[in-house]
Amino acid sequence: MVRGFSFSFKIKRFVPILVGTFLMVSCGRLEIKKSIDPKSVSFEARYNEDFEGVLYPSMLLALANYRGNDPMPLFSVTVTAPQNNSVLRIVADSTILNYVSITQETLPKKGTTYTFVPVIKWKFDNMYRLRQQGNIDLTFTCYINDEEVDVKNIRLNYRPVNECLMSLVGHDGVYHDFRWLFVAYVNEDHPKIDGILSEILSQGIVTTFDGSRSEKKVDTQMRAIWYYALSRGLSYSSISCTSNGSKKANSQHIRFFDDVYNNRQANCIDACVYFSSIMRKVGLQPIIFVEPCHAYLGYYTDKTRKKIALLETTITGWVNLPELDNHYDEEKGKLEEKYYNKISKYLSDKQKADYEKEGMPLEDLKKDVSNNLFDRASEYQKENYNNNKDMYTDSAQAMYQMLVVEEIRKQISPIPAVENGEVRTEK
């Protein structure tokens, strides 16, 4: 009885105090005095000034599996330890492009300023679908020993995923080349490629793709892929411009494999990416040669990787083979004169003579045109390559790049395909 009474008494005794507290909260804002002065911590959150407040999702996707040291981290936070062995926690709030992300570190020495690179957990699935630019506000909250100390906000302009950063000049005047990001658009895992390979095999130029390093077999496989591209009516179309207003960074719109396949249009880098995707799937080893204002394709033809063949992919736009189908007379084995004149310049004198004498099956005619254009495409860049060969392997010549896809793929992931709003990542 005594204990029960005493307990009841204590409750009654504290009721006025609790009521008073609630009244104080309801009548005015409750101010919690912080034990740590924000000024003493000097918390700052920054986005790398070289990128001028612009975020490139294509770069984040390309580097999603990168495990090396980042030479140009995007974000950094600085904080001064208010006491020895302070526990720092940085929380980045969620946006449409990232999840809530937490970075925790220990600050050993009071008064010392520390800089950290916070880990951001990106929403990669959302990035795949970005086809237009937009803005996000990324908020960083600083906690010391579980006490909220300060908050900083960074507004960023994110770019479409088709926009590839090519280069930028840093605030210190140093030029940084990012054209190795082209390899991220090479997608050997694209689900359409299996069907494409079936179509190529049905053409009868090759009976199998074996990833052979025999120079002759590599040549035959490349001619088969080339003929497929011409049979699809792949034409040249340049859409390199973007709405990026940066004065220090250069970027370019690059079509994905889907875009080239569906629209049958490509510029120089689009076509290199398209061909490289198919080549990688069958075990061939593409190289993308990049120079100021242009890119063309190369590939190794032997196991030792000493012999390189070249291919100017924009030459696919010189003819439109599909348009011949409706202008061919099967009985005569002849094309309408207007359409024959379009392609006759890509035939040898003997082929012209044979055609004019007896006609020719349309498929054979197309293959002759394709082979002759392949020969031209193989020769087109040889003089240029020989003149610039040393610059492609000279690290001081940043404007000339030899992108060996197989080597870069070890660090750069392909950007997966998106079909009907769904991300396609399976092999």
CATH number at residue 135: 2.60.40
Backbone angles phi and psi of 287, in degrees to 5: -130, 135
Question: In this structure, are 81 and 187 located in the same domain?
Answer: no
Which of 124, 158, 192 is the last residue in one of the domains?
158
Local structure of 333: helix, strand or coil: coil
Question: Quick check: 250 and 166 in contact, CB under 8 A?
Answer: yes
DSSP character string of 190-231: -TTHHHHHHHHHHTTS-S-------HHHHHHHHHHHHHHHHH
Question: Rounded CA gap, 43 and 143, in Å?
Answer: 10
Which of 104, 129, 158 is the last residue in one of the domains?
158
Q: Which residues contact 205 (CB under 8 A, 6 or more apart)?
A: 220, 223, 224, 227, 367
Question: In this structure, are 210 and 247 located in the same domain?
Answer: yes
CA 206 to each of CA 154, 209, 215, 224, 420: distance values in angstroms, whole numbers, following the listed order: 55, 7, 14, 7, 33
Question: In this structure, are 200 and 331 located in the same domain?
Answer: yes
Q: In what order do the strands lie in the sheet with 286-291?
A: 308-311, 294-300, 286-291, 401-404
Which of 129, 158, 187 is the last residue in one of the domains?
158
Asked whether residue 3 is domain-assigned, the answer is no
Question: In this structure, are 50 and 115 located in the same domain?
Answer: yes
Question: Rounded CA gap, 342 and 328, in Å?
Answer: 13
Asked whether residue 22 is domain-assigned, the answer is no
Asked whether residue 75 is domain-assigned, the answer is yes
CA 81 to each of CA 39, 45, 84, 136: distance values in angstroms, whole numbers, following the listed order: 11, 15, 7, 30
- pTM, rounded to two decimals: 0.85
Asked whether residue 350 is domain-assigned, the answer is yes
Containing domain of residue 51, as a range?
Answer: 38-158
Question: In this structure, are 154 and 229 located in the same domain?
Answer: no
Asked whether residue 33 is domain-assigned, the answer is no
The residue written with tokens 């005047």 in the block is 173
Question: Quick check: 193 and 278 in contact, CB under 8 A?
Answer: yes
Question: In this structure, are 154 and 193 located in the same domain?
Answer: no
Question: In this structure, are 245 and 394 located in the same domain?
Answer: yes
Question: Rounded CA gap, 162 and 112, in Å?
Answer: 43
Asked whether residue 171 is domain-assigned, the answer is no
Question: In this structure, are 384 and 281 located in the same domain?
Answer: yes
Asked whether residue 121 is domain-assigned, the answer is yes
Question: In this structure, are 193 and 258 located in the same domain?
Answer: yes
Q: Pick the closest to residue 154 from 87, 58, 54, 268 (CA basis).
A: 54
Question: In this structure, are 119 and 202 located in the same domain?
Answer: no
Question: In this structure, are 354 and 217 located in the same domain?
Answer: yes
pLDDT of the chain along its 427 residues, tens only? Answer: 333 323 232 323 333 333 343 333 444 444 556 689 999 999 999 999 999 999 999 999 999 988 877 778 999 999 999 999 999 999 999 999 999 999 999 999 999 999 999 999 999 999 999 989 999 999 999 999 999 999 999 999 999 999 999 999 988 888 889 999 999 999 999 999 999 999 999 999 999 888 767 899 999 999 999 999 999 999 988 765 555 556 788 999 999 999 999 999 999 999 999 999 999 999 999 999 999 889 999 999 988 888 999 999 999 999 999 999 999 999 999 999 999 999 999 999 999 999 999 899 999 999 999 999 999 999 999 999 999 999 998 888 888 999 999 999 999 999 987 654 444 443 3
pLDDT value, residue 31: 52
The CA dihedral of 300, 301, 302, 306, to the nearest 10 degrees, is -50
Tell me how many domains the chain contains.
2
Question: Rounded CA gap, 391 and 401, in Å?
Answer: 8
Question: In this structure, are 148 and 216 located in the same domain?
Answer: no
Asked whether residue 15 is domain-assigned, the answer is no
Angle at 420 between CA 414 and CA 423, to 5 degrees: 30
pLDDT value, residue 214: 86
28 forms beta bridges with none
